[in-house]
Amino acid sequence: MSGRRYLEELYTALLRQKDPSSSPSHANVDMAAFGELLDADAQRIRHLSQYIPLYKAALKGDRKSARRIFDSNPDAITARNTEGLSTALHIAVGTGKNIDFVRNLIDLKPVEALELTNDSNSTSLTVAAMVGNLEVARLLVERNPNLPYIRDNNEVVPLHRAVQYGHKNLVSFLLGVTRNEIKPTYSSPYADESGVMLLLLLVFPSVWRNLPNHPIEGDYPADCSQVCVQICSRFSTEVEKFVKPGFRNALNGERKTPAMVFTEEHKELLKEGEQWLKDTANSCTVVAALIATVVVAAAITVLGGNNADSGFPIFSGEKAFIIFAVADALSPFSSTAAMFMFLSILTACYSEADFLYALPKRLILCLLTLFISITFMMIAFSATLYIVFGDNNLWTLISIAISACLLVILFVLLQLLSWWICSTPPMDPVF
């Protein structure tokens, strides 16, 4: 029994089991449709089978094999040779390599054939945007300037795909070749009927999963929350520069502007950033309070006691004592100022814009004040050690000074310097 005859009998048996009352004529009608499907499937398999060598050549970048296939069958240049209706150019571009092979394919194809799409309605330029193949994108756009405006099944253009997959250089290139005012046959890449806009794409956290060094959700540590909110705000601000002013407040299908969507999508990250900032301010407030307590107590308890006759401190004639007195006086003032500034952070409410400049600068100022307080405290403590144990010994003075400097430098390297650099990181041009 032939394979087709067996499938026909099996189909008839299944049909009668499902509906015993079905008539033979009804079964015959269904069998005719079934036969047509079998014929179509067989033709499709034969069609795809003949292009398997071309598929392999496109994957490997085998120019000689591809040339032999094209010479024997010129239609293979534009033929769809996979289940996903991809052409040889789609496959070669998707590998992200074999630039010479891709260049030859582009030269062989007619200009209009470069607009051929696969089953997801993606052109070769869309595939290049997804894999980050900048050199191929340049070749394609140079040959066919209409490619940047062809949308796929999700109604997005190659520019949007490059943004979604985080290919910065490719986004920069596509922005340069995608015009605001374009032909009536193509819709704008910056806004369409459904309200999908370039700016709107950037406010969704899912886009950030593909960007290096931008952990927006899922696996970023708690102490990165403030920096993440800051980077989001900065990135969105940079993207606005490339969007026409009229689109910045345009509404999407849900009647929301990009700013509204940004706030909604990042509300949890904003809460985490605010909580982390307040926890940090609370911890630093405790440190400032402890410093103020210690140095005030040291000022009240006069070092070495007072002279019984004059009432002046016994060490008042020592230069080290003068240094101690000045440092011990300045330390509580600076620590108290730091406490007030940290308390202002604890009692304030924040928006996304505050995380961009205001809060980082305020936190840096608070930490700088706390650093000054710690420095004066260490100077006062070092002066005390020298007065009590130094006995005008130069090596004792040097040892105490080095130890105090190391502690201050340690604070700068571990805390203050890192925040100074990250307060609002000087980003390269985003695109």
What pLDDT digit, counting tens, does each position of 89-105 carry?
888 888 877 788 888 88
pLDDT of residue 184 exceeding 80:
no
- Mean pLDDT, to the nearest integer, of 235-244? 56
- Mean pLDDT, to the nearest integer, of 350-367? 76
* pLDDT for the residue numbered 211: 47
pLDDT of residue 195 exceeding 60:
no
- Helical H runs in 132-204? 134-143, 158-164, 168-177, 198-201
In the chain, domain spans: 3-47, 275-422
pLDDT of residue 25 exceeding 50:
no
Nearest to 207 by CA among 243, 161, 241: 161
What are the CA-CA distances from residue 226 to residues 45, 193, 222, 237, 347 (Å)? 56, 35, 9, 17, 17
* pLDDT for the residue numbered 216: 43
Contact 414, 331 (CB under 8 A): no
Nearest to 427 by CA among 293, 263, 231: 231
* pLDDT for the residue numbered 427: 45
- CB crowding 248-286: b at 16 or more within 10 Å, else e: eebebeeebbbbebbeebbeebbebbbebbbebbeebbe
Report the range of poorest mean pLDDT among 180-189, 242-251, 275-284, 373-382: 180-189
pLDDT of residue 277 exceeding 60:
yes
Nearest to 71 by CA among 82, 57, 90, 85: 57
Q: What is the largest CA-CA distance in the chain?
A: 130
pLDDT of residue 363 exceeding 80:
yes
* 410-417, Cβ contacts within 8 angstroms, sequence gap of 24 or more: 411/371, 411/374, 412/371, 415/367, 416/364, 416/367, 416/368, 416/371
* pLDDT for the residue numbered 225: 46
- Mean pLDDT, to the nearest integer, of 153-171? 81
Structure tokens at 140: 């394609």
* pLDDT for the residue numbered 215: 44
Q: Is the dihedral of CA 93, 95, 99, 104 positive or negative?
A: negative
Strand partners, 306: 313
* pLDDT for the residue numbered 179: 66
Q: What's the pLDDT band for 334 if we cut at 50, 70, 90?
A: very high
* pLDDT for the residue numbered 133: 86
Can you tell me the distance from the alpha carbon of 278 to that of 275, in angstroms, rounded to the nearest whole number? 5
Q: What's the pLDDT band for 186 if we cut at 50, 70, 90?
A: very low
* pLDDT for the residue numbered 339: 92
- Mean pLDDT, to the nearest integer, of 293-321? 74
Average pLDDT, the chain: 71
pTM: 0.46
> Could you give the percent of the chain with pLDDT greater than 70?
56
More confident residue, 146 or 59: 146
| DSSP element (H, E) containing 69 | helix 63-72
